[in-house]
Amino acid sequence: MKFLDIRDNSFEDAFAAILARSEETGRDVEQIVVDIIAEVRSRGDAAVLDYTRRFDRLEADSVHSLEVTEVEFNEAFARVADEDIAALKLAVERVARFHQKQKQETWLSTDEPDIMLGQMVTPLQRVGIYVPGGKASYPSSVIMNAVPAKVAGVGEVIMVAPTPGGEINPHVLVAARLSGVDRVFRIGGAQAVAALAYGTATIPKVAKITGPGNIYVATAKKLVFGQVGIDMIAGPSEILVINDGSGNPAHIAADLLSQAEHDELASSILITTDRAFGERVAEEVELQLGQLSRESIARKSWETYGAVIVSGSLPEAIDFSNRIAPEHLELAVTDPFAILPQIRNAGAIFLGHFTPEAAGDYLAGPNHTLPTGGTARFFSPLSLDDFVKKSSIVYFSEGGLNRLGRSIVHIAQLEGLEAHAKSVSKRLK
């Protein structure tokens, strides 16, 4: 952990080391993924089976046999405690309610008597959701991807999840069913992404693929972008807490650690106007680290990418935040709403002393898929927008075309596009 003062001359250099944590995709990873995609495109199901055998140690006669059956769903529900099902149901309900508020309506303008213009909103017809296998197989991840798709009106949601050795997390299956996922296939890796993007005899081709994954999955998503839509390319997670000396240092330490336990590459930063408060938080982090089951991950993250920064003022802390565009931003200050409109770049903003970031991870309602690594400068949280697309609507009556036609012809001609001009002039009186 670095204890820094933003006003020091050495600050920029010291902080640069914390920012430099994104993994660049090696050209070797890319070549492997290029080959996998080419194989799946040309050999379809057979290639998917080969890679599943090789990477997931899972033998299957057909991709069809890798689809999760109704019996398996029922078994999963039987294995999961009622209390767990209730908590997941609450999450599904709250996430659905929030995303319903993101709905955009089709509109048509009628302010000109002879021309109508508009925008039609339609759901994607079929989407694929990637769910990582093994320990990173989280039911919350299923909910955060599937629920917005279903609320948007997507016709069919296909989930893929690798099951190394055949084992599938029952909570993930329960979450899939509660979220309205239509079909689940036990496949993963770049081969699953390729199958969804291009379709095989068994896996239907989708319009968009969302969801987190390892470097092979992320690379495959980047490579099929354009063939299908993808969600943002997420990197390691991060949190920034802005503090004014108010609040409980133990709470803020716990929030920093909730980020650090995710991943050794995760980054947890506190920026506070109160040096003494910052010191107490740092002490609390050390105390709480020793009590965590994931201590070694959290400690590595905190030591390498953790920081407590002292700033001269709240505006200075806010400027810093806007510059790094954090994925998660906590406004742990006395009056968080007063500074909300000064925040320009952030994935999700958690206001006040009783809104730990973890609340947003599960069931507050907003999506937990957020832009990382400074990409909140241009990316948005996963939302209903990701599962719809728009079409422009243009209607000219004969009168409308006569009113504007000469100007259209004029611009077409100055661009040297004669056939464009003629398509209008032929219709003019």
Which of 328, 330, 357, 368 is catalytic? The answer is 328
By CB under 8 A, name the one of 62, 74, 296, 407 that touches a second copy: 407
Q: Is 328 a catalytic residue?
A: yes
Buried/exposed 301-321: b ≥16 CB within 10 Å, e otherwise: bbebbbbbbbbeebebbbebb
Distance CA 339, CA 336 (A): 6
Q: Is 361 annotated as a binding residue?
A: yes
Distance CA 371, CA 390 (A): 23
Distance CA 239, CA 271 (A): 11
**Minimum gap (Å) between residue 238 Cβ and a second copy:** 15
Kindly state whether residue 100 participates in binding a second copy, applying the rule CB under 8 A: no
Kindly state whether residue 204 participates in binding a second copy, applying the rule CB under 8 A: no
Kindly state whether residue 96 participates in binding a second copy, applying the rule CB under 8 A: no
Q: Is 279 annotated as a binding residue?
A: no
**Minimum gap (Å) between residue 192 Cβ and a second copy:** 18
Find the binding residues for a second copy in span 15-54 (CB under 8 A).
none
By CB under 8 A, name the one of 51, 55, 138, 305 that touches a second copy: 138
Specify the DSSP element, H or E, that contains 152. Answer: helix 139-152
Question: Would you say 379 and 325 are in contact if contact means Cβ atoms under 8 Å apart?
Answer: no
Specify the DSSP element, H or E, that contains 304. Answer: helix 295-305
Closer by beta carbon to a second copy, 46 or else 250: 250
**Binding letters toward a second copy, positions 373-392, x by CB under 8 A:** --xxxxxxx-x-x---xxxx
Q: Is 353 annotated as a binding residue?
A: no
Kindly state whether residue 393 participates in binding a second copy, applying the rule CB under 8 A: yes
Closer by beta carbon to a second copy, 70 or else 426: 426
By CB under 8 A, name the one of 183, 222, 275, 300 that touches a second copy: 222
Contacts of 166 by beta carbon, 8 Å cutoff, 6+ apart: 58, 186
156 phi, psi to nearest 5 deg: -145, 125
**Minimum gap (Å) between residue 307 Cβ and a second copy:** 18
One-letter amino acid identity for 97?
R
Q: Is 274 annotated as a binding residue?
A: no
Which of 327, 330, 357, 368 is catalytic? The answer is 327
Closer by beta carbon to a second copy, 48 or else 285: 285
Kindly state whether residue 334 participates in binding a second copy, applying the rule CB under 8 A: no
Interface stretch with a second copy, choices 37-45, 176-184, 293-301, 304-312 (CB under 8 A): 293-301
By CB under 8 A, name the one of 41, 275, 294, 300 that touches a second copy: 294
Cα separations (Å) of 41 from 136, 190, 290? Answer: 28, 12, 49
Distance CA 287, CA 104 (A): 47
Query: Residues 171, 172, 173, 176: is their CA dihedral positive or negative?
Result: positive
Question: Would you say 260 and 294 are in contact if contact means Cβ atoms under 8 Å apart?
Answer: no
By CB under 8 A, name the one of 191, 200, 258, 272 that touches a second copy: 258
Interface stretch with a second copy, choices 4-12, 35-43, 145-153, 367-375 (CB under 8 A): 367-375
**Minimum gap (Å) between residue 28 Cβ and a second copy:** 14
**Minimum gap (Å) between residue 52 Cβ and a second copy:** 25
**Minimum gap (Å) between residue 5 Cβ and a second copy:** 26
Active site residues: 327-328
